[in-house]
Chain A
């Protein structure tokens, strides 16, 4: 037996065990990507570097055998720095998007590609559920939103953007046709109360998401009914019934409305005393320093990441911050502030919503259009003023090119990039690689530009004795994983498609229908 210490804990393991195995015995976690239990180690990603304090040397724990007297540290600054460096290098040649450009530009951060794919499948109700994770008033926004998402849509480069906004309206309208439109089950009541001043798009969204989190939202508005600025919109564009029906859903979630309320400084003080938190969604402010809060000409001053005002329990969103014609931004902020307040009420601290690492690569090259069209159809944008029929909606949604990654949640590269604060741009010192997609609609999708060359798939296809399998082609920086004799990926993975997709540490290999965002219930 070999005796060593890891993070000051002593452990004994048999000879030829690795440091990683010894660490696991102590329940010490070390990040790995190229390592896969049951296959020979490959020592490629170098994310698992640990340090032997005796000589200060860094070594890959996944493959370094233990030795007597080793004094290993797994998480000091040098170790974490090495991980960051390795990740930044890997990211510098990782060409792919964690999330689709459309989703990233959407102020409400709606998962557009997922909605589209569900529409294609005819699962309109599910599509609506995806929409409602981020947007409380989709039927309304579907009619009035200037659709910044469509400006970000990659399809625009090929021909025209997907009619995202219209599709969102379609699923929302389908839902409103139901006797009881969709309302998710709320979390158990927390007994906390949040006052929301203003029943415009921001306030309504905040109320909706706070209710779902189990908090009692009470909405104050100076008008006699909810809607705020939305009430001023031409009825031709936004019929009253649509607005009312969507507000009704919010009311059904348990939000309480108090109309004809003018909030002056005294009333504000009363509310503050009565409620656990206050959200100001008052729309544009004319007065200076409303309610005694710090502000500028534009509006109330808030911390950009938490929406907190100069008053600890008061938050402000929407046009109260600065005038904007983008209702979708207000709606998005309503959702965001609800999450922040939820954490505040549960933990007492105000923390920004975690900003996740996002791999991005920008515009497609001309030669990549066809690669992306492999997951789409060659059809023109369906431009109609009328509401989409189901068939039209499915046809239009099919034009979506699936820019988002299939493994946005399980991807270790993303996970660790978040954990070790790695940036993607730092070492992008030369032209990026060309994106290729090998799509087998009944099976696996392979995107080499996302591959980190960890070789797990090569080892697995070897182990399962695939006739062709995967192999390393070339060497050095240009090495890639491919199939011998230019056989199809499908032929390479007759037995192991699902397995390699599961074990791939990134989104380079995934099953065609993989929808992690449905599994995680995010």
Chain B
């Protein structure tokens, strides 16, 4: 119907007014409500309409200066409308080394986007690069709205879009996610992974298939959800535990495999016929399922695989009972010793004793710095104040790290228990979970877990009748890596731009709203219940002289078995890569492992036996960081890796201090010059000079550690820098320094010519094809599609 534009605007405005009023009524009118308010508005409109922001200023104490300052600080917020669907291309480390850049370029070509354009002409899709989605083992990963695609190759974009279009609208129909039944009747149990990697790889579909298969067959099994098993390289995972039989773990399961799996273990009469049909369907599908060519939203095959190597060297403490307990099942958590430590701490120990135990355990902060946890608790405990805060730092932003995400998703009660114990120890009155925006599943789980805890008196007033009261709320991040820095995080919780602040005063002295505040990393809290329950001595007995206990790492990159691992301190890099990770993928040569993400460094092959502990890593020029561990092989260019990490920190710099704001940008400029082959010897000197000053002069940890990836690669891979200055990229990664060439092995199948987006390869059946280097945009599509590996990369 015809509507006058003027009226439309009025309607729109009143609409916005009403919506904002409702949001404000729900989220509050004080400064700290600003981020939740903005999130709610964006949720509603897909962006932040100016009208809405003005209305917020009208209704709350939030000033225009604050609201714009915040809306433009956090990368999640948009001030311009976006397309109906948002395509997020993960550019985390693992994705980067597996070609996320090429995937991004391919999407841009697909939608015909020029320059800085992000939304396609139809306004349907908006493209964006996002920091690590934490599905590193599925790299490269692309998320369209809430559907995650793994192993996306640059020549499979159309398939991904087609699949997404076929999925639109289906996502809301996932029902019956949970089945409760009488355990006694079960013939066995089927466990389905519910970590982000599993969910992303289609575990929900697998579950549906299980439900459908079992329906009406008379097979009585318990379907159970478990948290992340850590074997993210094999997702989705299904573990079958027949009654009185050995459990079997199936990896990379797809829905159509389910019938076969169930049939193998459960054979009631009457199922056999169905199974036959099922098998038939299965093979038929395998042969016709062309749409799925290469797009591993579900995996290609399923097989039984012994995974003991992966698990044997690990000691689960933060990840205790992994793959066994349902993240949100409180009874189950209790049956495995959950809340016992909380009970001991609240009922039997005084705060001094708790602090002493944690001190004696030797636990050090798992967020990167490695500060003695007991000492930190002592500092906060000693402060005289009626109000004390406690924060769980779950703002894991390192590209290539997903420990916090997994711990929050899979062991929410354990983290909460650790926090309650810490609260009792330091006398905290109120707690916060600070969880980054990219982890919606973690937020949902924690929210539910908190509600369950309150209901069962593990949280809130007079916890477990101990007389101790403490509650926790969630503060969601909005896309700012710097908020992992504790002073910036507090600024963010208070409802400000995430600008870090000089220390001292330390949060322990003057933290949130000027009150003493304890901030520990998620993993640190997750290890506390074990220490209290099993005794500090047991924890202390694990590890090295100065680094005690275990550390959780996210193992990703060019590795056979990536995933989440928890290993004793002191284990060597070699042991992790070779024994747990099963060595480098594709039989390639190990080149280095990047530890600690953008604040860390690379440990080269020559130092393969470096033990993993705080001091050894620092000495090697890396750092524990939050625990990202990305394996690099001979095809990875170390200058490109340095440039990659620096572009990350440069992009995440808050912009407050000169050295970080401009220093990282200038270093990046120089690195880009070098990787494009225009660098000079003098550029290397200037790079070192800037790295030195950025390290010494920056205000916070982000800036101070930003040069580490550059310095460590300069140290161990100086020859690669020199090669670039001479115009060569030895690994064949840097676009400006390579060209594509087709060798005589070419069989003239024309696949490359068909895939080439720029007609750089002429369609010549049965002839050796030729790449026109003038037209070639180095998208790698030809190399990926060639069946005989006749496409090679040449660098002079």
Contacts and interface: CB of A to CB of B under 8 A. Distances in A.
B669 A467 contact: no
Interface string B34-72: 000000000000000010011000000001111111001
A65 B650 CA distance: 28
B755 interface: no
A129 interface: no
B395 to A, nearest CB: 16
B657 A484 contact: no
Contacts of A93: 662
A372 to B, nearest CB: 25
Nearest to A65: B504
A470 B63 CA distance: 11
Contact of A479 (B50, B501, B650, B655): B655
A471 B662 contact: no
Contact of B53 (A478, A482, A485): A485
Interface string A73-90: 000000000100110011
A477 B653 contact: yes
B659 A471 contact: no
A290 to B, nearest CB: 45
Nearest to A482: B68
Given A46-B657, A82-B693, A90-B662, A469 B72 contact: no
A430 to B, nearest CB: 5
B697 A86 contact: yes
Contacts of B68: 471, 473, 482, 484-485
A158 B686 CA distance: 37
Interface in B495-517: 497, 501-502, 504-505
Interface string B652-675: 111111110111111001100100
A458 interface: yes
Given A82-B697, A485-B53, A476 B655 contact: yes
B65 A427 contact: no
A43 B500 CA distance: 10
A461 interface: yes
Interface string A409-439: 0000000000000000011011000000000
B141 interface: no
A471 B652 contact: no
Given A82-B696, A471-B65, A479 B673 contact: no
B784 interface: no
B658 A86 contact: yes
B690 interface: yes
Contacts of A484: 64-65, 67-69
Contact of A46 (B69, B658, B686): B658
B699 interface: yes
Contacts of B669: 429-430
B480 interface: yes
B18 interface: no
A388 interface: no
A521 interface: no
A485 B690 CA distance: 36
Nearest to B54: A485
A225 to B, nearest CB: 58
A89 B659 contact: yes
Given A44-B658, A484-B64, A471 B50 contact: no
A338 interface: no
Given A46-B697, A60-B699, A475 B654 contact: yes
A470 B65 contact: yes
A468 B73 CA distance: 18
Contact of A475 (B655, B662, B663): B655
Contacts of B665: 430, 476-477
Interface string A156-180: 0000000000000000000000000
Q: Is the interface of B mostly helix, strand, loop or mixed?
A: helix
A59 B693 CA distance: 12
A449 interface: no
B658 A90 contact: yes
Given A429-B670, A458-B65, A485-B68, A476 B697 contact: no
B663 A89 contact: yes
A467 B57 CA distance: 10
B412 to A, nearest CB: 31
A461 B502 contact: no
A16 B502 CA distance: 12
A42 interface: yes
Interface string B223-263: 00000000000000000000000000000000000000000
Interface residues of B, number: 45
B650 A474 contact: no
A477 B65 contact: no
B697 A58 contact: yes
Most chain B CB within a 10 A radius of its CB, from A43, A470, A476: A476
B546 interface: no
A468 B64 contact: yes
B104 to A, nearest CB: 20
Nearest to A47: B658
Given A462-B65, A469-B65, A473-B68, A85 B693 contact: yes
A92 B662 contact: yes
A493 to B, nearest CB: 12
A17 interface: no
A429 B661 CA distance: 14
Contacts of B659: 46, 85-86, 89
Nearest to B500: A43
A475 B693 contact: no
B69 A472 contact: yes
Interface in A19-63: 41-47, 49, 58-60, 63
A475 B502 contact: no
A64 interface: yes
Interface string A454-494: 00001001100011111111111111001011010000000
Given A429-B670, A471-B66, A43 B662 contact: no
A475 B690 contact: no
Contacts of B652: 476
Nearest to A42: B656
A80 B676 CA distance: 34
A451 to B, nearest CB: 12
A85 B663 CA distance: 9
B384 interface: no
A440 interface: no
Contacts of B504: 64-65, 67
B654 A43 contact: no
Nearest to B654: A475
A143 interface: no
Interface string B691-722: 00100111100000000000000000000000
A67 B504 CA distance: 10
A367 to B, nearest CB: 16
A453 interface: yes
A482 B670 CA distance: 29
Of the listed residues A44, A49, A63, A471, the one surrounded by the most CB atoms of chain B closer than 10 A to its CB is A471
A404 to B, nearest CB: 25
Contacts of B217: none
Given A472-B73, A485-B54, A477 B661 contact: yes
A455 B505 CA distance: 21
B13 interface: no
Contact of B655 (A46, A59, A64, A453): A453
Q: Which 4 A-B pairs have CB atoms at the shortest separation, nearest pair first? A: A429-B669, A479-B655, A484-B64, A484-B68
23 contacts: A43-B699, A44-B658, A45-B658, A46-B658, A67-B504, A82-B697, A86-B658, A90-B658, A90-B662, A92-B666, A427-B666, A427-B690, A430-B665, A466-B65, A472-B497, A472-B655, A475-B653, A476-B654, A476-B655, A476-B665, A477-B665, A479-B655, A484-B65
Given A426-B686, A427-B686, A469-B63, 19 more contacts: A42-B656, A43-B656, A43-B699, A44-B657, A44-B658, A58-B696, A65-B505, A89-B658, A89-B662, A452-B658, A462-B65, A469-B64, A470-B65, A471-B68, A475-B73, A476-B653, A477-B661, A479-B655, A484-B65
